[in-house]
Structure 1
């Protein structure tokens, strides 16, 4: 009989396989602003992807580079994500993000505007332009009030409930992927569906044993390659924990140590870090962070109902 390797060996292997590819020497020398030349090989002054003009680099992730851009037809500002590498698995994941995002229409989900392949052969995804910062940046100034944390939880859950109803699991719910338009908590939008997957999809888009997600917010079942709507319940629970206490539920000296804590350690006491947190709210967050998906609220609608029933919201 074949036995699974011990947790530490499994997690170590996952982390090795999940390491991002090293940038080329040219990319390291020229940094983000120069990636455009490396990726497209065309002049900065008038770089086009479809009908969109790229203006400046604003961020970089595992799959690509995000640029501020402009729609030449309407003049509107847009955000354009470019795929930086062309490996087949990465390309399929990028295409899947675009295909899933265009099916989701909700005021709390970043709006899809288009995608395609440029004349230079570069895959691109265009989304609405958002001014502000993400919740992770906001939390650098300290935890939220209990009322604001509950409001954030309800609005994020509303958006994710729509995604789940469409069969889409985000798989990377965390403060960094909750954007605050104009830096206002009431203007939250869920962003970055790069790890999202349709619940009925039978095509794995990661190497066997590769970990997809963010240590500290990843659900235990993701360490074994499983995910459903309750995986996002876990991610939102970890996000609520951070909103209320100022830090994620599990910490460690390195990503592997964090993943082991996620799998093995009980949820730390919220009240010990912040005594004024209502007991019912703490109990809900702890359930959302259950090691077994069956221990968690069954879906986002249940999360919304329980948060709204805490008698905290006006």
Structure 2
């Protein structure tokens, strides 16, 4: 989908996923390109970031795009809103996001910089966005002036964009993609040069870009990598920067990240302190901060007279100093002490002889640590190993394991465990032993449970139950239940796809040979005939794939379009553009949305490289009707050479006219009424020869047209289309 005039991934006028119409190029790079587009459904303006085809199958770049898509969970005005990833039929992956209209800070840098007051406003706004991102464990890693946009040019409306770092990696480019380092040298924190990145790297980068924005010049990084390493080890030069901006930048960009402001919230706190006058640059010294940690509620206080006992060094007998005589000891009654010892000895003998078992219970050896593990790997027999405090509990667990053809090695033992340990552990095992995979691990009073289920509702119910006091008993309990299976075969998805194929085949894209592991992504592509079908398909696939993400690259058409598509060959676009105008004043309608009473005018724009063959233009509406715009009784000649009439370059051919121009009955025109509102697809077919035996009627049913296409005479070279949407205001 490229031309000589626009060598990019998409062209102006292209429609993505039957929804987003490209209307402007925002930027072209070595690996990705950014476009502005308009939703033909809602009219919302969005930005579309697309990977070039050679990178769209590269897992590293796809992971970066997926990472950027994950930002859609974050809701903050200072962070660009992301939607989802899609893949075109020819393999280009693109990401849809909000379009932020305004200059980037890179433009402010080129224009000579901004005032300190405005830079501080940007600092606060961007930091508030970082607080939200870091709370979701998202680190930008590439903050730079070009990734901060001022919506409508306002510093207080600054927006952070581009969380993917999927940029130009050609030689000389300033953004590096990989495991070792990510970020622009001029703004990256020193530790990023060594592959170490956390929230403090974003704080450094923000400080560096604030300095560049104030001065109108990026920080000096030298002429080679060694220069970069040496310069990054030194503080940034902030001489001449007014307070409090200077102090903010100094504390945000300390080379040693352990002495840098540690969190985005700390940046906000310091900014508040400096701006309200409660602190000055001299007052704040992060190097000398004292951190006081609160004592745990159950931790005893430290005694004021704590005594440290040092080990006594060994001394030989010859070196031993003479010792003073021991002070006289008080003499006590010896007989009573001996009597107590005698009684203790007799009691111990009785206890260890077993004579008191009927009173104290049986004696078992002490186990330290006191542990038990009961587990089952996926759909295998269970096993149990460890300690049990009573014969009754041991026998109950033995019976449970034996009943499932498992094995148990249980030892009766005593230990430091709660009184209800045996009853509590049996209750927890009983709650999960039906799962295809589980493990219950007990260490004294701490228990960990992990498990696997194929049912999302069961997981929710089980996780809820395990948080209840009556289920946990006396244990400190942690639990995690995954959705399975651990490995999902693509074959398990085929019956679901087959059930919902009503507009051509639905296919699993790039299914791993060994199956999908948990945490991976499942992609399904194709077409369906209605939003309802898409919703049902999405719901059933989501239930089937467990703990995996689902990407649906599925185009929603309607029954008419699906019927026609079923008989059309799978060919690429021919770069014929379809433009819409308003019949009342002949102005361009870029959205393709028309309302009841309006008069859509339709033009096709034949590209300069198309000089021969035949064009067939039809409008397929939601009611099942097909309107033939070219050729028809009003315009019978559809030969490209004739349509050109000797003209070179791009030429426009109007195939649906204004109501005023059609009053004499010589031209075809439409006025929107409320009988068949929705999406109408304008289809342009280019072929080497006439594909029908004679003219088709101006209007016919979708079934009749589909039958004619199935029996066409000539081959089809290319297909281009655009959606026209009709609605009530």
Task: Compute the TM-score of the two structures, normalised by the length of structure 1.
Answer: 0.76
Q: Report deviation, 1:301.
A: 0.6
Post-superposition CA distance 1:289-314 (Å, at most 9, x none): 1112111111011101111222279x
Distance 2:188 2:101 in 1: 27
Q: Max radius of gyration: which structure?
A: 2
Give the deviation of 1:282 after TM superposition. 1.9
2:62 corresponds to which of 76, 83, 91: 91
Q: Matched residues in 2 for 1:258 and 1:215: separation?
A: 11
Partners in 1 of 2:275 and 2:13 — Cα distance?
55
Q: Do structure 1's residue 302 and structure 2's residue 266 form an aligned pair?
A: yes
Would the alpha carbon gap of residues 208 and 150 (structure 1) be closer, same or farther in structure 2, given more than 3 Å must change? closer
Please name the residue that 2:114 is paired with: 144
Report how far residue 47 of structure 1 moved: 3.5
- Give 2:239's aligned residue: 270
Using the alignment, how far apart are the partners of 2:31 and 2:46 within structure 1?
19
Does the Cα contact within 8 Å between 1:54 and 1:67 map onto a contact in 2? yes
- Structure 1 residues 253, 267: CA separation in 2 closer, same or farther (over 3 Å shift)? same
| Matches of 1:119 and 1:128, distance apart in 2 | 23
The alpha-carbon distance between structure 1 residues 132 and 312, as it changes in their structure 2 partners (threshold 3 A), is farther
Aligned to 2:8: 35
Change (3 A) 1:227 1:121: same
User: How big is the shift at 1:68?
Assistant: 1.1
Shift of 1:261: 4.2
Question: 2:15 is matched with which residue?
Answer: 47
What's the TM-score, normalizing by structure 2? 0.34
Tell me the residue number matched to 1:123: 93
1:108 equivalenced with 2:78 (yes/no) = yes
Aligned length: 264
Q: Which consecutive unaligned segments of at least 5 residues does structure 1 have?
A: 1-26, 38-42, 197-204
Structure scoring higher RCO (CA < 8 A, sep ≥ 6) equals: 1
Q: How does 1:61-100 map to 2 (within 5 A)?
A: 61=29, 63-84=31-52, 85-86=55-56, 87-99=58-70
| 2:228 equivalent in structure 1 | 259
Task: Please state whether the residue corresponding to 2:219 is helix, strand or coil.
Answer: coil
Q: Secondary structure at the match of 1:241?
A: helix
In 2: Cα distance, 1:312 partner to 1:265 partner: 30
Paired residue secondary structure (2:142): coil
Q: Provide the aligned C-alpha RMSD in A.
A: 2.6
1:43-68 alpha-carbon deviations (Å, 9 max, x no partner): 75433245212223211345411111
Pair 1:68–1:248, CA change in 2 (3 A):
same
Match of 1:220 in 2: 190
Change (3 A) 1:295 1:30: farther
CA distance in 1, matches of 2:44, 2:268: 34
- Distance in structure 1 (CA, Å) of the matches to 2:104 and 2:188: 18
Show structure 1 runs of 4+ deviating over 3 A.
43-47, 205-209
Which ranges in structure 2 are unaligned for 5 or more consecutive residues? 167-175, 278-729
What corresponds to 1:292 in structure 2? Answer: 256
Partner of 1:243: 213
